[in-house]
A and B are shown apart, each in its own frame.
Chain A
Amino acid sequence: MIYFIKILKKEFLIYSRKSSSFISPVVFFLISISLYPIGISNDPDILKNLAPGLIWITVLLSTLISFQNIFSEDYEDGSIELLLASGQNLSMIVLIKIFVNWIFSCLPIIVLSIFSIFLLYLPQEGLKPLIISLLIGTPTICLFGALAGALSLGKNSITGPALMLPLSLPVLILGTQAINYSLNGINFASNILLLTAILIFLLPIILFASVGALKLHFN
């Protein structure tokens, strides 16, 4: 346990000093959200209808920026070799890396998505499903990002997103739908439960697959 706490502290320290890890996704998100009223329309009715999809797509694209590097730095500096040689539970280490990545790249975006009320005229009743669906949906996207990152180590930068985006579509659909349901007065709990089920179901599978993909690079 001490070993995993040590890795958790190390990852927090590394991310906190690597400003690009959390500033880049946040800046991308803010710029995109600000551009939609200019590029699409400044009509509140149009933006209000598009807001759920626009926010979710922007969150998805923002997280892509950070997942490119989730394992690549460790691969290049030799840390992954040391992890493999340590004989420790690699799934747990991958989980820690995904968790810290989510804290630094997704959590700030979720907080900032509140601003969409003002920029995209999202009605206040859409805020609750937006925040809940992002809180439950983004960890799943992080899992897909980790798997894509592990599979695309040492390959060109388009391989990761090309793997991650199609996998994320169900989460995107359920998240957007939850907000739309709420705006239309329909109970959105089923969507949140489905998002939770996807997260719980995929967590062990993707951790196992990511560890396998990392090991594959050394065999």
Chain B
Amino acid sequence: MLKTANLSYKFDDKYIFSNLSFEIANDSVFKLVGDNGSGKSTLLKILSGIYKNYEGELSCLEVDSVFYSGHKTGLKNNLSVRENIYFDIRLPKISYSQINSVLKKLDLIDYSDIQSAYLSEGQKRKINIASFMLSNANLYLLDEPFNNLDSKTTDLVREIFDTKVDSGAKIIFSSHERFNDDFPLIDMNLFN
């Protein structure tokens, strides 16, 4: 279970959000929505442990491993697509054959030996999706995972959400789109 109580975060004496309280049980997906600057990314960074100086309470019970994916992809320009996934610090030891099977699903197999510097933003985002697919974490924190993705990959990611949740994982992701799916919402605008 993931639980927050009166969680607040301020930057330069201005509260980004305040008194945010919620509980997320295992096997669930939550969507963070809100205007630009409402604190969606900040909340994900707090939950992932990147930001520590928050106010309020945060408890993560039964969370052994966290998979965080931010706005920045963390990809190394001079490593190939396959190498970037193989050396992804968020993943356990994986084989090239496992990577190849995921790259096939994402239509990236033809680019597997190409350095990520030469890929489009959407393809770079797909590499992060490949890592997401290969991860066996039990808490996923994804910052706008559908950005720059084509509709086919977006549908695939939604399917993977279901698979991960069925295996007992929790997923929290941020999005600007409120109404294109039926995931439970956390509206950050209410806490500004």
Contact = CB atoms under 8 A, between A and B. Distances in A.
A81 B68 contact: yes
Q: Which secondary structure dominates where chain B touches chain A? A: loop
Contacts, number: 68
A155 interface: no
A2, A7, A9, A84: which has the most chain B beta carbons within 10 Å?
A84
A84 B89 CA distance: 11
Contact of A86 (B70, B90, B141): B90
Given A218-B51, A219-B51, A219-B53, 16 more contacts: A3-B89, A6-B89, A6-B93, A13-B87, A14-B78, A77-B72, A77-B75, A77-B76, A78-B70, A81-B72, A81-B74, A82-B68, A85-B50, A85-B66, A85-B68, A86-B90
B85 to A, nearest CB: 12
A219 B66 contact: no
Interface of A: 2-3, 6-7, 9-10, 13-14, 17-18, 76-79, 81-88, 215, 218-219
A69 to B, nearest CB: 13
Contact of B45 (A18, A81, A88, A215): A81
Interface of B: 45, 48-53, 66, 68, 70-79, 83, 87, 89-90, 93, 141
A6 B87 contact: yes
Nearest to A11: B87
A53 B98 CA distance: 55
